[in-house]
Amino acid sequence: MNIIELKNITKVYDMGAAQQVAALQGVDLVIGKNEYVAIMGPSGSGKSTLMNIIGCLDTPTSGQYLFNGVNVSEMDDNNLARIRNKEIGFVFQTFNLLARSDSLHNVELPLIYAGISSTERKERARRTLEHVGLGDRGHHKPNELSGGQRQRVAVARALVTNPSIILADEPTGNLDSRTGEEIMGLFEDLHSQGNTIILVTHEAEIAEHAHRVVRVRDGKVESDDVIPEAKRKRYAVKRAS
C-alpha cells in the first residue's frame, strides 16, 4: 500500500511582472508504508517545497497527489487540516514552537484541534514528552530549553497524535552533531515501530540513517536509491534510559 503517490507535480511561484520561479518541475515519487526516506539536494533545489506539498501545507500548481489513495487537490480546507492534524507529524528546522506556551501545552496543541478531552490531552502530552526524554521539562517555555530539547518537544508534538507519517525538514539543521544524533535515534525508534519517515537533509551523515535516498536537483528527482542494509548507519550514541 502506497501512502504517498506524486505524479508529475509542479510548483510555480508567481513573482509578479511576468516573473516566475519553477520550484518543482515534474516530480514523480512513490513512498510506501514504513519507508524511511531521506531527501537530499543542493540549496534551492525544491526540497522544502516538496515537503510542504507532501505535508498538505501547500498545494501543487499542477500534477496529481494521492494521499492514501485519495486525491489531495480535491480536498477542502477542513479535510486538509484534518490530515495535517491526524495523519502527518511535521518537524521543522526552526522548531516552530509557540514561544509563550510551555512544553506540555505545545505538545497538547494538536490534540486540542483533534477535539480530544482535556484530561486525555494532558495525559498523552505528558507521556509523549516522557517518551522523548523530557518528562521533567513540561513546564519550561521554549526559551528555557536548549536547541536539542526544543527539537525534542517538536518531535513530541509531531508524535502525540500517532500520525502515520513523520515529515522532518532539516530537523538537525540547527543542532550540533551529537544532539542531531539523539534526534535521529528518536526517528529510528519510530521507524522500527512502523511509522513512515521522510526527512530532508543536506548532511550525508544524517541521510545514512535512511533506507532510501532521493536526490533532488532543479526541481526534479535526480536519483532514487535504496541503501543496502549493510551500509545503513545505526544510532551510535547511547540513549539515557
Partner 1 sequence: MYFWNEVKEGLIIAFRAIRTNKVRSVLTTLGIVIGIVSVTLMATAIEGVNRAFDKSAAAFGPDVMYIEKWPWVSNEDWSTFRNRPDLKVEYADRIERQATLLNAVAPVMNTRRSLKYADKQMEMALITGTTASYISASGNSEIDGRFFSEEEATGGRPVCVIGAVVAENLFPTEDPIGKTIRVAGFPYTVLGVFEKQGGLFGQFTSDTRVFIPIHSFQSNFGGRRYVMVQVRASSMSVLEDAKIEVEGIMRSLRKAQPGMPSDFSINQQELLTQTFGPISLVISAIGLFITSLSLFVGGIGIMNIMFVSVTERTKEIGIRKAIGAKRRTILLQFLVEAAALCLIGGIIGLMFAFPLSLIVDKVLPTAMPISVVFIAIAISLTVGVVSGFLPAYRAAKMDPVEALRYE
Ligand X SMILES: Nc1ncnc2c1ncn2[C@@H]1O[C@H](COP(=O)(O)OP(=O)(O)OP(=O)(O)O)[C@@H](O)[C@H]1O
Q: Binding residues for ligand X, per CB under 6 A?
A: 13, 15, 21, 23, 41, 43-49, 202
User: Residue 78, interface with partner 1 (CB under 8 A)?
Assistant: yes
CB 93 within 8 A of CB 174: yes
CB 199 within 8 A of CB 171: yes
The partner in contact with residue 45, picked from partner 1, ligand X, Mg ion, none with C-beta cut-offs of 5 to 8 angstroms by kind, is: ligand X
- Taking CB under 8 A as the binding criterion, the range among 105-113, 144-152, 208-216, 227-235 that sits at the site for partner 1 is 105-113
The least CB distance from residue 92 to ligand X, in Å, is 11
The least CB distance from residue 13 to ligand X, in Å, is 3
For 192, the grid coordinates are 522500527
Residue indicated by cell numbers 509578479: 16
The least CB distance from residue 210 to ligand X, in Å, is 17
Give the residue with the Cβ less far from partner 1, 100 or 178.
100
Strand blocks (E) in 41-195 = 62-67, 70-71, 88-91, 165-169
Please tell me what DSSP assigns to residue 110: H
Q: How far apart are CA 121 and CA 114, in angstroms?
A: 10
The least CB distance from residue 30 to partner 1, in Å, is 23
